[in-house]
């Protein structure tokens, strides 16, 4: 008998994970039997944090939720979804400007994997302007990220930028 559990993946680069990402994860958790927060590894991108550092931050951020797993993939997200038996991809929409790109990706993913649905979730309005790139820029210029990322992520950001300043 095939597994009928409702599995979703929430893919992203999470460089770093923010409270906006965590809000989306909390919203997705009750909708599915299992949600796999999936670190997308893209060799064309130059992330601030290594794969292992990002995985650790994600695990520390969602470890208190029973039905949340953490994984990683490179390549097509639809292939990873097939591997883990996911029925849905979770995507966060912060603003109307996100919709066009996400809509195109959802349609392309549907062409590749017709049984896979994309579920769009909106974060709490406190996080609609929040992105990992804004967080990195804020820390780079000495700004506070309190309230935007979990405390352990804030510490990791501060340490990373101290190290960069020492090297540079």
Catalytic residues: 21, 45, 94, 132
Secondary structure in 3-state letters for the chain: CCCCCCEEEEEECCCCCCHHHHHHHHHHHHHCCEEEEEEECCCCCCCCCCHHHHHHHHHHHHCCCCCEEEEEECCCHHHHHHHHCCCEEEEECCCHHHHHHHHHHHHHHHHHCCCCEEEEECCCHHHCCCCHHHHHHHHHCCCCCECCECHHHHHHHHHHHHHHHHHC
């Amino acid at each position: 008998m095939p597994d009928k559990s409702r599995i979703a993946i929430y893919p992203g680069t999470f460089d770093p994970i923010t409270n906006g990402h965590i809000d989306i994860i909390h919203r997705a958790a009750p909708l599915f039997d299992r949600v796999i927060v999936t670190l997308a590894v893209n060799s064309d991108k130059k992330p601030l944090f290594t794969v292992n550092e990002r995985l650790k931050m994600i695990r520390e951020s969602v470890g208190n939720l029973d039905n949340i797993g953490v994984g990683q993939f490179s390549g097509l997200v639809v292939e990873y979804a097939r591997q883990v038996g996911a029925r849905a991809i979770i995507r966060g929409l912060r603003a109307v400007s996100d919709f066009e790109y996400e809509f195109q990706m959802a349609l392309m993913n549907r062409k590749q994997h017709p049984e896979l649905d994309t579920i769009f979730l909106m974060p709490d309005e406190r996080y609609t302007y929040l992105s990992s790139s804004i967080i990195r820029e804020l820390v780079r210029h000495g700004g506070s990220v309190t309230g935007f990322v979990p405390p352990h992520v804030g510490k990791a950001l501060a340490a990373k930028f101290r190290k960069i300043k020492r090297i540079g």
